[in-house]
Structure 1
Amino acid sequence: MIKKYLKYQVPNVILLLLVTPAVFSQNIPARKIKKMFEKSEILNEHFTGFSLFDQDKDKMVFEQNGSKHFIPASNTKTYTFYTALEMLGDSIPALKYITKSDSLIFWGTGDPTLAYSTFKSNKVLDFLKKSDKKLFFVATNYKGNFYGAGWNYDDYLEDFQPEMTAFPVEGNTAKVYKNEAGGVTVKPPFLQSYFKVDPNFSSEYYFIKRDFYTNQFTYPSKIDKTGYLQEIPFKTSPELTISLLEEKINKDITLLDIPLPKDFRIIYSEKTDDVLRKMMMVSDNFIAEQLLLVCASTLSNDLSTNTIIDYSKANFMKEFANDITWVDGSGLSRYNLFTPNSSIALLKKIGIKVNDEERLHSLFPAGGVSGTLKRAYKTDNDKPFVWAKTGTLTNVYNQCGYIITRKGKKLIYSFMNNNFTKTTDEIRAEMARIITEIHNKY
């Protein structure tokens, strides 16, 4: 009887032994992820949140403070990114216009790309140049302050904080170079006359100052630094926008104030993916803020950050809209508050919307390869395994994105760190260590 019993049972035991490792290998044990955090002296010194989601199993693997609120910094751009995915087509609407008798009247849409960064499209400038009509610009459709809610006004000279407008030109920023004569050359050239030497202005480090309220730029009489370049946001106004456009197209433009008729037409500029990629790769605040205005332009002619955020939350983020406080497009504001779990939910939606892994990965910085993650991670056999958006402010460093493990598991993560006193480099390195360990082991 014993032999008979074994005869029929041994194959089942063998089968169980063969199957069990495969079954268990499909799960990532939460207790082991938890131990990684418990053993981290660096992460235990401040407020840390972490959520890890298994896409294949459609379930949360582990969370620590996943429902707690954190200042997201530039993780906010993923919310702007998703809003743009939902609301914009394959190209950026750049200008609305009508023709009336001998006049061409146009309105801005917030498009950030005109003569900015690496964008090359001249469709808007060519359109205005080629017109045989009198040009009129309506500048009253931007509904907001020149800065976002909660922005640091002390940073008005920093290139990461240009002002917002309906029709930005050259990123609303002046680029200042040292010239051969020892002075400065300014781009756009129209602004050159606003720069004056101040003999009483001396500083240990050479830099150019601008009056907060005006475009009065001053600089020391001597520039020692070779290859000097400074980018400084200029003070925007409808009149200055017109002057900068007139310089580029060599035609007169007149300010006008009329409502947008229903029969308007649209000129498009850059490919939407190219603009989104630029925003995500270098964490461009200006593009992020202006993209929300571009999204608003698809609803009405009023360009309002508040309106488009409310619309996006109500229409695209219903499941977690009550769990987030979202006030700007870039994350410059410390009023923004998101949870690791809300970012996981958002990243799931982004993946579904894009529905193409190669395209999705191309739009995010890749660890060890590109953007803000180029130096944060090493590749695995020359291949990246993490694609994520970073977020950095003083005492804040976060990442949220996608991981593919050595065993092929597809994970989503949100890793948030607030109120630390160590350097950002130390926090970044510890985060990379943990994410790399998850990649290697699972």
Structure 2
Amino acid sequence: MKIAKYILVLTLFICSGCSVSRQLEKELDSTAGDNSFFQGVVVAEAESGKIIISHNGQKYFTPASNVKIFTLYAALRSIKDTIPTFDYAVKEDSLILRGTGHPLFLVDSLNEKALRFLRDSQERLYLSDIAIEDRIFGPGWSWEDFSYSYMPERTIFPMYSNLLSVAKKGDDISVVPELLNEKLNFSSQRRIYREPESNDFYFPDHGDYERLIPFKTSIQLSADILGGVLNKKVILVPEDIKRQYKSFKEIPNDTLYSRMMYESDNFIAEQLLLRVGYETSGKYNSKTAIDYVLKNFLSDIDQRPRWVDGSGLSRYNLFSPESIVNVLQKLYLEAPSEKLSIYFPEGGRSGTLKNDFQGQSYIRAKSGTLSNNYSLSGYLTTKRGTVLVFSFMNNHYQGSAVSRKKRMSAFFKELYEKY
């Protein structure tokens, strides 16, 4: 008798879940004709991968920063050890450094150990003259955005995330890195900008402000900035392929991954993808990295994405909701559960979701935003404790994303309460 009752309850539970999924999918289908934009939604059970809702799930969309989910997966699969802050070799009276693409060198006082190591060294300091085997900007990036903080140049030995920081309060002006102080010009104009091909910056001479603006990079500038920080001369030296390097490791990879996902940090994402290229093929090249990951780790994805960068800045990227759900499920099955809480912001509480989806902490997801595009993909734990993976993508709407988020919020609430 107890067994029959259990089976009845289980049957009702399953039917209830099926009912709400059919209802939500029907609502998505019924409103599609009224939309002047494109919408795609896929929801699946995290454990089994069973798709319970699919609305335009196999169509391609512009994913924006949802691309970082793929970059995270690529890094977790490819980068097995802590990324070195730099590589170094000691030869007689010389200390030779080599860049590793690490994106957080000299950021937020995270490198006290590395700086102490370099300052205490008695050898002459050299920097290997190498570069990434890629362009400084990704394919399809907006060329006119070079002076915005979300688009620093990609390099082999970045410092300060390749961003100039200027803080003005009254007559006091703080500049980091200090080396670029002489390149700042102040006038009565209001615009803040940099010349496209040089490090000539222009700022207003009135008002208080804090700004981050990318600087034009070069390996020589990296040597000069490092020399200024250490108060030592840093000299460029040709790379010797026979030179034996050691790795100086300081910042855990999880620090990079959580910052990339919580803050949607484009620079970290791009540098991580370059590092994936190096780890898998010996080249700091994003296309090499992407090709390797798609062939070796994601060959089972039905809708092969058009994936061109690590951050999602490019509108060349094309991903389907179903392919994103595929990778989210792989992460769920392959990564420890506590790691997912480190990597994915919580609805209404943290990261890029801190001010959105209030009261919906049962959502942990990555947002993706470009003008006229908003997507959210991640995990939803229902009231009954079932973990779902989802990707909800909106493309080419006019106006703000406020109304899109409101409808998405109602959708997630219905899933949470009734599935």
Tell me the TM-score normalised to structure 1 length: 0.88
Q: Choose 53-62 or 211-220, whichever is displaced more.
A: 53-62
Report what 2:245 is aligned to: 264
Cα deviations by residue, 1:384-408 (Å, 9 ceiling, x for unpaired): 1010001000111101100001111
- Unpaired runs of 5+ in structure 1? 1-9
SS at match of 1:196: strand
Report what 2:44 is aligned to: 53
CA contact 1:114–1:122 (8 Å) conserved in 2 = no
| 1:261-340 → structure 2 map (5 Å cutoff) | 261=242, 263-299=244-280, 302-320=283-301, 323-340=304-321
Which of 401, 418, 429 is residue 406 of structure 2 equivalent to? 429
Question: How big is the shift at 1:125?
Answer: 2.3
SS at match of 2:110: coil
Cα deviations by residue, 1:316-357 (Å, 9 ceiling, x for unpaired): 111128611111110000111111111111111111221x22
CA contact 1:90–1:273 (8 Å) conserved in 2 = no
SS at match of 2:394: strand
Report what 1:413 is aligned to: 390
Q: C-alpha separation between the residues in 1 aligned to 2:19 and 2:245?
A: 55
Which of 371, 379, 396 is residue 351 of structure 2 equivalent to? 371
Q: Choose 370-379 or 11-20, whichever is displaced more.
A: 11-20
| 1:248-259 → structure 2 map (5 Å cutoff) | 248-259=229-240
Report what 1:88 is aligned to: 79
SS at match of 2:35: helix
Cα deviations by residue, 1:145-171 (Å, 9 ceiling, x for unpaired): 111111001111111011110010001
| 1:140-289 → structure 2 map (5 Å cutoff) | 140-181=130-171, 184-198=173-187, 202=189, 206-220=190-204, 222-224=205-207, 226=208, 228-261=209-242, 263-289=244-270
Q: C-alpha separation between the residues in 1 aligned to 2:5 and 2:91?
A: 84
Report what 2:25 is aligned to: 34
Question: How big is the shift at 1:263?
Answer: 3.0
Report what 1:343 is aligned to: 324
SS at match of 1:92: coil
Inter-CA distance 120–15: structure 2 relative to 1 (3 Å threshold)? closer
Which of 57, 68, 79 is residue 77 of structure 1 equivalent to? 68
Q: Confirm or deny that 1:361 pairs with 2:341.
A: yes
Inter-CA distance 41–267: structure 2 relative to 1 (3 Å threshold)? same
Inter-CA distance 336–22: structure 2 relative to 1 (3 Å threshold)? closer
Q: C-alpha separation between the residues in 2 aligned to 1:180 and 1:15?
A: 72
Cα deviations by residue, 1:180-230 (Å, 9 ceiling, x for unpaired): 32x63311111111002245xx2xxx342210100011223x312x3x111
SS at match of 2:156: coil
Inter-CA distance 140–322: structure 2 relative to 1 (3 Å threshold)? farther
CA contact 1:143–1:303 (8 Å) conserved in 2 = yes
Q: C-alpha separation between the residues in 2 aligned to 1:132 and 1:209?
A: 40
Question: How big is the shift at 1:12?
Answer: 10
Inter-CA distance 73–38: structure 2 relative to 1 (3 Å threshold)? same
Report what 1:7 is aligned to: none
CA contact 2:378–2:390 (8 Å) conserved in 1 = yes
Q: C-alpha separation between the residues in 1 aligned to 2:289 and 2:222?
A: 24
Q: Confirm or deny that 1:120 pairs with 2:104.
A: no
1:367 partner letter: G
- Unpaired runs of 5+ in structure 2? none
Report what 1:63 is aligned to: 54
Cα deviations by residue, 1:284-317 (Å, 9 ceiling, x for unpaired): 0011111112223334653111111111112211
Question: How big is the shift at 1:126?
Answer: 2.5
1:358 partner letter: E
Q: C-alpha separation between the residues in 1 aligned to 2:319 and 2:5?
A: 49
Q: C-alpha separation between the residues in 2 aligned to 1:47 and 1:360?
A: 29
Q: C-alpha separation between the residues in 1 aligned to 2:166 and 2:289?
A: 34
CA contact 1:85–1:353 (8 Å) conserved in 2 = no
Larger radius of gyration: 1
CA contact 1:122–1:269 (8 Å) conserved in 2 = no
2:179 partner letter: F
SS at match of 2:272: helix
Q: Choose 328-337 or 26-35, whichever is displaced more.
A: 26-35
CA contact 1:89–1:272 (8 Å) conserved in 2 = no
CA contact 2:280–2:292 (8 Å) conserved in 1 = no
Tell me the TM-score normalised to structure 2 length: 0.93
Q: C-alpha separation between the residues in 2 aligned to 1:15 and 1:160?
A: 55
CA contact 1:53–1:61 (8 Å) conserved in 2 = yes
2:311 partner letter: S
Q: C-alpha separation between the residues in 2 aligned to 1:333 and 1:208?
A: 24
Q: Confirm or deny that 1:107 pairs with 2:98.
A: yes
Report what 1:3 is aligned to: none
SS at match of 2:300: coil
1:37 partner letter: L
The RMSD of aligned alpha carbons is: 2.4
Report what 1:5 is aligned to: none
Aligned length: 419
